[in-house]
């Protein structure tokens, strides 16, 4: 187990078990995505507990086991260390709490705990429930530029990993697989991935709520922020 000194000093191994929180009626919500996620209440704060799960075809062989390549290579530890680095730098990310892995001979499984960001919606949720203002699109563009300026490559940048509160507060979440890189074309690839995600939303409940003026507003703010 690895805990962040500022927010995870009292974490114990049972905190990574959903049953521990269910027995205390402390599970606030549960969701399934690329990983399985629970929002739990611990004292006066709420935390997000995420279990690492595989996606794609390989998930048919193993849902949550990964090949053991050493402690430093485990995804929970890598994500927690990166989160701590970004949070200390003032980037808009959830505060890191703790991470753990369980060794299973030649494989491992793992979990991570981060602070819950209250009164937020994902960009996908906001689009599904109504329109998103140009002020918000500009705020998203500026935020993404801040991450790219320090070399943070989010490998799964999409409308579900951008959190919003009000018209101009933004956060980026779920840094599983993310890394710090030198400047390169990966920045454009990140933005293209986000664009594809937004276009997919237009085929569902958010139909017609994402358009070219909004995307150009995001890009304009991104470029302005990158130039500073």
Say which of 4, 105, 156, 211 is annotated catalytic.
156
Tell which wins on pLDDT, 96 or 31: 96
Percentage of residues in the chain having pLDDT higher than 90: 82
Q: Which residue do the tokens 């009292």 mark?
A: 10
Six-digit token pair at 18?
């959903």
When pLDDT is cut at 50, 70 and 90, the band that residue 124 belongs to is very high
How far is residue 87's CA from residue 81's CA, in Å, rounded to a whole number? 10
Does position 55 have pLDDT exceeding 90, yes or no? no
The closest alpha carbon to 2, from 81, 99, 79, 115, belongs to 99
Q: What structural domains does the chain harbor?
A: 2-115 (3.30.200), 121-227 (1.10.510.10)
Q: Mean per-residue pLDDT for 38-53? A: 94
> Rounded to two decimals, what is the model's pTM?
0.92
How confident is the model at residue 205, as a pLDDT? Answer: 75
- Clarify whether 203 is annotated catalytic: no
Q: Flag the least confident range among 4-8, 171-175, 198-202, 221-225.
A: 4-8
């Amino acid at each position: 187990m690895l805990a962040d000194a500022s927010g995870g000093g009292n974490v114990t191994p049972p905190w990574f078990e959903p049953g521990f929180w269910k027995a205390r009626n402390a599970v606030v919500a549960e969701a399934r995505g690329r990983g399985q996620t629970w929002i739990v209440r611990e004292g006066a704060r709420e935390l997000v507990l995420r279990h690492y799960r595989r996606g794609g075809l390989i998930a048919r062989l193993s849902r949550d086991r990964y090949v053991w390549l050493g402690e430093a290579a485990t995804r929970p530890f890598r994500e927690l260390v990166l989160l701590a680095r970004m949070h200390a730098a003032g980037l808009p990310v959830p505060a890191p709490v703790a991470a753990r892995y369980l060794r299973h001979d030649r494989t491992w499984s793992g979990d991570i705990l981060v602070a819950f960001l209250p009164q937020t919606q994902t960009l996908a949720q906001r689009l599904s429930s109504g329109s998103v203002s140009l002020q918000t699109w500009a705020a998203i563009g500026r935020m993404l530029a801040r991450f790219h300026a320090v070399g943070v490559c989010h490998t799964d940048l999409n409308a579900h990993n951008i959190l919003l509160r009000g018209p101009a507060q933004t956060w980026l979440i779920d840094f599983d697989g993310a890394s710090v890189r030198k400047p390169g074309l990966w920045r454009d690839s990140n933005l293209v991935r986000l664009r594809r995600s937004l276009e997919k939303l237009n085929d569902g409940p958010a139909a017609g709520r994402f358009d070219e003026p909004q995307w150009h507003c995001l890009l304009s703010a991104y470029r302005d922020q990158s130039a500073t």
